[in-house]
Structure 1
Amino acid sequence: MAAFGKLSQALLRSGLVQTRRQLSATAGHEGQAKKWKMLTFFVAFPCLGLCFVSVYLKEQQHSHEQPEFVPYSHLRLRSKRFPWGDGNHSLFHNAHLNALPAGYEGHDE
Protein backbone atom coordinates (compact mmCIF):
# COMPACT_ATOMS: atom_id res chain seq x y z
CA MET A 1 0.00 0.00 0.00
CA ALA A 2 2.85 2.34 0.76
CA ALA A 3 4.36 1.68 -2.65
CA PHE A 4 1.09 2.75 -4.31
CA GLY A 5 1.11 6.00 -2.29
CA LYS A 6 4.70 6.77 -3.25
CA LEU A 7 3.99 6.01 -6.91
CA SER A 8 0.90 8.22 -6.99
CA GLN A 9 2.78 11.06 -5.30
CA ALA A 10 5.61 10.76 -7.84
CA LEU A 11 3.13 10.82 -10.75
CA LEU A 12 1.31 13.78 -9.26
CA ARG A 13 4.53 15.74 -8.79
CA SER A 14 5.71 15.02 -12.32
CA GLY A 15 2.33 16.11 -13.69
CA LEU A 16 2.51 19.39 -11.77
CA VAL A 17 6.02 20.05 -12.96
CA GLN A 18 4.94 19.51 -16.57
CA THR A 19 1.93 21.81 -16.10
CA ARG A 20 4.14 24.55 -14.66
CA ARG A 21 6.54 24.19 -17.59
CA GLN A 22 3.70 24.44 -20.09
CA LEU A 23 2.25 27.52 -18.41
CA SER A 24 5.60 29.27 -18.28
CA ALA A 25 6.19 28.46 -21.96
CA THR A 26 2.89 30.08 -22.98
CA ALA A 27 3.53 33.20 -20.87
CA GLY A 28 5.83 34.63 -23.56
CA HIS A 29 3.01 34.56 -26.13
CA GLU A 30 0.87 37.18 -24.40
CA GLY A 31 2.47 39.89 -26.53
CA GLN A 32 1.58 37.95 -29.66
CA ALA A 33 -2.04 37.61 -28.58
CA LYS A 34 -2.25 41.33 -27.87
CA LYS A 35 -0.77 42.12 -31.29
CA TRP A 36 -3.33 39.95 -33.11
CA LYS A 37 -6.17 41.37 -31.04
CA MET A 38 -5.14 44.91 -31.99
CA LEU A 39 -4.78 43.92 -35.67
CA THR A 40 -8.27 42.44 -35.57
CA PHE A 41 -9.88 45.53 -34.09
CA PHE A 42 -7.92 48.22 -35.94
CA VAL A 43 -7.30 46.58 -39.34
CA ALA A 44 -9.67 43.66 -40.01
CA PHE A 45 -12.93 45.17 -38.74
CA PRO A 46 -12.44 48.54 -40.51
CA CYS A 47 -11.60 46.69 -43.75
CA LEU A 48 -14.79 44.64 -43.43
CA GLY A 49 -16.76 47.82 -42.83
CA LEU A 50 -15.27 49.48 -45.93
CA CYS A 51 -16.07 46.40 -48.03
CA PHE A 52 -19.66 46.45 -46.77
CA VAL A 53 -20.07 50.14 -47.64
CA SER A 54 -18.54 49.58 -51.08
CA VAL A 55 -20.89 46.69 -51.90
CA TYR A 56 -23.90 48.63 -50.60
CA LEU A 57 -23.10 51.68 -52.74
CA LYS A 58 -22.51 49.51 -55.84
CA GLU A 59 -25.89 47.82 -55.31
CA GLN A 60 -27.60 51.21 -55.08
CA GLN A 61 -26.15 52.17 -58.49
CA HIS A 62 -27.02 48.81 -60.04
CA SER A 63 -29.77 48.73 -62.64
CA HIS A 64 -32.74 46.61 -61.62
CA GLU A 65 -34.18 46.29 -65.10
CA GLN A 66 -35.27 42.94 -66.40
CA PRO A 67 -32.88 41.50 -69.01
CA GLU A 68 -34.20 41.20 -72.54
CA PHE A 69 -35.66 37.79 -73.39
CA VAL A 70 -34.07 36.11 -76.38
CA PRO A 71 -35.55 32.66 -77.16
CA TYR A 72 -32.32 30.78 -77.88
CA SER A 73 -32.99 27.14 -78.73
CA HIS A 74 -30.16 25.79 -76.54
CA LEU A 75 -31.24 27.58 -73.34
CA ARG A 76 -34.03 26.72 -70.87
CA LEU A 77 -34.46 23.15 -72.13
CA ARG A 78 -36.83 21.00 -70.09
CA SER A 79 -36.19 17.33 -70.91
CA LYS A 80 -37.71 16.32 -67.58
CA ARG A 81 -40.06 18.21 -65.25
CA PHE A 82 -38.75 19.53 -61.94
CA PRO A 83 -40.04 17.42 -59.00
CA TRP A 84 -41.57 20.43 -57.20
CA GLY A 85 -44.31 22.92 -57.97
CA ASP A 86 -45.58 22.97 -61.53
CA GLY A 87 -42.38 21.32 -62.82
CA ASN A 88 -41.38 24.31 -64.93
CA HIS A 89 -39.81 26.58 -62.29
CA SER A 90 -36.31 25.88 -60.91
CA LEU A 91 -35.85 25.46 -57.17
CA PHE A 92 -34.53 29.01 -56.67
CA HIS A 93 -36.70 30.64 -59.33
CA ASN A 94 -36.82 34.42 -59.48
CA ALA A 95 -39.67 35.64 -61.66
CA HIS A 96 -37.88 38.92 -62.35
CA LEU A 97 -34.57 37.44 -63.53
CA ASN A 98 -35.21 33.81 -64.55
CA ALA A 99 -37.12 33.32 -67.75
CA LEU A 100 -39.22 30.26 -68.50
CA PRO A 101 -38.95 28.59 -71.94
CA ALA A 102 -41.80 30.78 -73.21
CA GLY A 103 -40.47 34.03 -71.69
CA TYR A 104 -40.75 35.98 -68.45
CA GLU A 105 -43.78 35.50 -66.23
CA GLY A 106 -46.48 38.14 -66.40
CA HIS A 107 -45.47 39.53 -69.81
CA ASP A 108 -47.79 39.27 -72.79
CA GLU A 109 -45.59 39.66 -75.84
Structure 2
Amino acid sequence: MASLGRLSRAVLRAPLAQARQLSAAAGAHGAHEGGSRVWKILTFVVAFPGVAVCMLNMYLKMQQHQAHYVQPEFVPYSHLRIRTKRFPWGDGVKSFFHNDELNALPDGYAEHEE
Protein backbone atom coordinates (compact mmCIF):
# COMPACT_ATOMS: atom_id res chain seq x y z
CA MET A 1 0.00 0.00 0.00
CA ALA A 2 2.85 2.36 0.80
CA SER A 3 4.46 1.66 -2.55
CA LEU A 4 1.21 2.66 -4.28
CA GLY A 5 1.29 6.00 -2.46
CA ARG A 6 4.92 6.63 -3.49
CA LEU A 7 4.14 5.68 -7.08
CA SER A 8 1.13 8.02 -7.26
CA ARG A 9 3.20 10.92 -5.84
CA ALA A 10 5.95 10.29 -8.39
CA VAL A 11 3.46 10.18 -11.26
CA LEU A 12 1.78 13.39 -10.08
CA ARG A 13 5.09 15.26 -9.62
CA ALA A 14 6.52 14.44 -13.07
CA PRO A 15 4.02 16.51 -15.14
CA LEU A 16 4.27 19.37 -12.64
CA ALA A 17 8.07 19.52 -12.96
CA GLN A 18 7.82 19.32 -16.75
CA ALA A 19 5.25 22.12 -16.81
CA ARG A 20 7.58 24.29 -14.75
CA GLN A 21 10.38 23.75 -17.27
CA LEU A 22 8.13 24.60 -20.19
CA SER A 23 6.84 27.78 -18.61
CA ALA A 24 10.40 28.87 -17.81
CA ALA A 25 11.42 28.29 -21.43
CA ALA A 26 8.50 30.38 -22.65
CA GLY A 27 9.83 33.37 -20.75
CA ALA A 28 13.08 33.37 -22.75
CA HIS A 29 12.66 35.57 -25.82
CA GLY A 30 15.61 34.98 -28.15
CA ALA A 31 14.64 33.13 -31.35
CA HIS A 32 10.90 33.92 -31.33
CA GLU A 33 11.23 37.67 -31.38
CA GLY A 34 9.48 39.51 -34.20
CA GLY A 35 6.95 36.79 -34.99
CA SER A 36 4.03 39.18 -34.93
CA ARG A 37 5.83 41.47 -37.38
CA VAL A 38 6.24 38.58 -39.86
CA TRP A 39 2.53 37.70 -39.63
CA LYS A 40 1.55 41.33 -40.07
CA ILE A 41 3.67 41.59 -43.23
CA LEU A 42 2.24 38.29 -44.54
CA THR A 43 -1.29 39.55 -43.91
CA PHE A 44 -0.79 42.70 -45.97
CA VAL A 45 1.42 41.17 -48.69
CA VAL A 46 -0.22 37.75 -49.18
CA ALA A 47 -3.65 37.50 -47.53
CA PHE A 48 -5.31 40.78 -48.57
CA PRO A 49 -4.14 40.61 -52.20
CA GLY A 50 -5.18 36.95 -52.34
CA VAL A 51 -8.69 37.80 -51.13
CA ALA A 52 -8.86 40.69 -53.62
CA VAL A 53 -7.86 38.41 -56.53
CA CYS A 54 -10.48 35.83 -55.49
CA MET A 55 -13.17 38.54 -55.29
CA LEU A 56 -12.22 39.86 -58.74
CA ASN A 57 -12.34 36.34 -60.19
CA MET A 58 -15.78 35.73 -58.69
CA TYR A 59 -17.11 39.07 -59.99
CA LEU A 60 -15.85 38.45 -63.53
CA LYS A 61 -17.30 34.92 -63.61
CA MET A 62 -20.63 36.23 -62.32
CA GLN A 63 -20.71 38.88 -65.07
CA GLN A 64 -19.90 36.25 -67.70
CA HIS A 65 -22.63 33.94 -66.39
CA GLN A 66 -25.29 36.67 -66.32
CA ALA A 67 -24.54 37.64 -69.91
CA HIS A 68 -25.88 34.34 -71.27
CA TYR A 69 -28.28 33.17 -68.52
CA VAL A 70 -31.63 31.82 -69.74
CA GLN A 71 -34.36 30.96 -67.27
CA PRO A 72 -35.12 27.22 -67.41
CA GLU A 73 -38.55 26.08 -68.59
CA PHE A 74 -41.08 25.51 -65.81
CA VAL A 75 -42.15 21.88 -65.39
CA PRO A 76 -45.03 21.42 -62.90
CA TYR A 77 -43.85 18.30 -61.06
CA SER A 78 -46.45 17.15 -58.54
CA HIS A 79 -43.94 16.45 -55.77
CA LEU A 80 -42.30 19.90 -55.84
CA ARG A 81 -43.59 23.13 -54.32
CA ILE A 82 -46.25 21.45 -52.18
CA ARG A 83 -48.06 24.01 -50.00
CA THR A 84 -50.26 22.60 -47.22
CA LYS A 85 -50.84 26.04 -45.74
CA ARG A 86 -49.94 29.61 -46.62
CA PHE A 87 -46.73 31.25 -45.41
CA PRO A 88 -47.30 33.78 -42.60
CA TRP A 89 -45.57 36.63 -44.50
CA GLY A 90 -46.22 38.56 -47.68
CA ASP A 91 -48.81 37.08 -50.02
CA GLY A 92 -48.44 33.62 -48.41
CA VAL A 93 -47.20 31.92 -51.59
CA LYS A 94 -43.56 33.00 -51.75
CA SER A 95 -41.01 31.49 -49.37
CA PHE A 96 -39.06 33.76 -47.02
CA PHE A 97 -35.96 33.82 -49.26
CA HIS A 98 -37.87 33.87 -52.57
CA ASN A 99 -36.13 35.14 -55.70
CA ASP A 100 -38.47 35.84 -58.63
CA GLU A 101 -35.76 35.15 -61.20
CA LEU A 102 -34.64 31.78 -59.82
CA ASN A 103 -37.48 30.30 -57.74
CA ALA A 104 -40.74 29.15 -59.29
CA LEU A 105 -44.11 29.40 -57.59
CA PRO A 106 -46.47 26.38 -57.56
CA ASP A 107 -48.08 27.54 -60.81
CA GLY A 108 -44.95 28.83 -62.64
CA TYR A 109 -42.48 31.68 -62.60
CA ALA A 110 -43.64 35.17 -61.63
CA GLU A 111 -44.03 37.46 -64.62
CA HIS A 112 -41.73 40.48 -64.63
CA GLU A 113 -42.95 43.87 -65.75
CA GLU A 114 -40.10 45.55 -67.59
Bin the TM-score by the shorter chain. 0.5 to 0.7
Q: Hey, what's the Cα distance between the residues in 2 that align with 1:92 and 1:79?
A: 18
Find the counterpart in structure 2 of residue 104 from structure 1: 109
1:40 CA displacement:
0.3
Instruction: Tell me which of 83, 86, 99 is aligned to 1:81.
Output: 86
Give the superposed CA RMSD: 2.1
Gaps of 5+ in 1: 1-23
1:42 aligns with 2:45: yes
Amino-acid identity (%): 62
Q: Give the aligned length.
A: 85
Find the counterpart in structure 2 of residue 11 from structure 1: none
Letter in 1 for 2:110: E
Find the counterpart in structure 1 of residue 63 from structure 2: 60
Q: Hey, what's the Cα distance between the residues in 2 that align with 1:56 and 1:106?
A: 27
1:57 CA displacement:
0.9
Moved over 4 A (4+): 24-30
Letter in 1 for 2:43: T
Gaps of 5+ in 2: 1-26
